Structure 1
Amino acid sequence: MLLKTRLFGEIDVKDEEVIYFTKPILGFDNCREYLLMQNESIFPTFWLQSINDPNLAFPVVSPFSVDDNYSINLQSPDLEDVKLKSIDDALVLTLMVVPQSLSSIRTNLRAPIIYNPENRIAKQLILYDEKYPIHYYVLDSSNN
């Protein structure tokens, strides 16, 4: 399938590349299928490109790369939803907001996405642990 995107131009999408979300990302109810894109010239280098809405792409980052102390404990139902035996087998990502002011780049550490690369199933979680902020400013030196 050929997908015409706003950020990446035309992409030839293969079925084996599509990531399926068990539930939509919060606020985007009509989008459950994505591609994980890598683009060296754009920070951050990973993007979730919606297949359902070619104009929608989310920059994403590993929360472990922005917060050295980040950790999550998943419950069995969360692991089962994406058919994982262990969180160690998952790719964990968080959505980023990249405004014009680079000092305001932030990510939501309280709503990570867990992705099983083996079967291409993903799910956004809502963590109730208040130690992780909804607005984690990536370039704020006081975070480290």
Structure 2
Amino acid sequence: MKIQSTILGEVEALESEILTFDNGLPGFENEKNFILLSIEGNEVYQILQSINSKEVGFVTANPYLFISDYTFDLNESTVESLDIESEEDIIVLTIVTVKEPFNASTVNLKAPVIINTKSKKAKQCILENADYPIRYSIDANMQKDMG
């Protein structure tokens, strides 16, 4: 199946890779089906792309690349709605707010995207009891890690 992406152009995707967000994403409640696309030559970032709207795509990253002790608990309703049986079944991503220059970009640690790799159900969760910032600088941390 072919997917149109403003960021990556036309890409080929398998229907088995479609992620379902039952409630959409905050601000994009009508967008319920996405696919996670790799960016060729880039191990850090991916695109969470709507399969229906080419202009709805988000740059995402693994938050543990920026903050190794990132931790939170999912509430029971989230665990149930995503059919999570084991911690090994999920991946956690953060949405990147892309800025110019790119090293001024930030990641949203307050609202991670949780994906159940088995059920293909996903949800962006707003962490109620965590003091993580909405705008965490990727530059300061990447410089530290690479320095």
Q: Give the TM-score taking structure 2 as reference length.
A: 0.87
Q: Contact 2:44/2:62 (CA < 8 Å) preserved in 1?
A: no
1:97 positional shift: 0.8
Q: Give the TM-score taking structure 1 as reference length.
A: 0.88
More displaced, 96-105 or 63-72? 96-105
| Unaligned ranges ≥5, structure 2 | none
Q: 1:112 to 1:143 in 2, by over 3 A?
A: farther
Flag as ranges the 4+ runs of structure 1 deviating above 6 A. Answer: none
Please tell me the root mean square deviation across aligned C-alpha atoms, in Å: 2.1
* Residues 12-58 of structure 1: per-residue CA shift (max 9 Å, x gap): 33321111012111111221111100013457431101112112210
Aligned partners of 1:45 and 1:109: how far apart in 2?
15
Q: 1:9 to 1:45 in 2, by over 3 A?
A: same
1:85 positional shift: 1.8
Equivalent pairs, count: 144
Letter in 2 for 1:8: L
1:66 positional shift: 0.9
Tell me, what secondary structure is at the counterpart of 2:31?
coil
Q: Contact 1:20/1:121 (CA < 8 Å) preserved in 2?
A: yes
Aligned partners of 2:40 and 2:2: how far apart in 1?
22
The answer on 1:102 being equivalent to 2:99 is no
More displaced, 70-79 or 9-18? 9-18
| Unaligned ranges ≥5, structure 1 | none
Tell me, what secondary structure is at the counterpart of 1:27?
coil
1:7 positional shift: 2.1
Aligned counterparts, 1:79-94, within 5 A: 79-94=79-94
Tell me, what secondary structure is at the counterpart of 1:80?
helix
1:84 positional shift: 0.3
- 2:75 alignment partner in structure 1: 75
Aligned partners of 1:78 and 1:143: how far apart in 2?
34
- 2:115 alignment partner in structure 1: 115
Tell me, what secondary structure is at the counterpart of 2:64?
helix
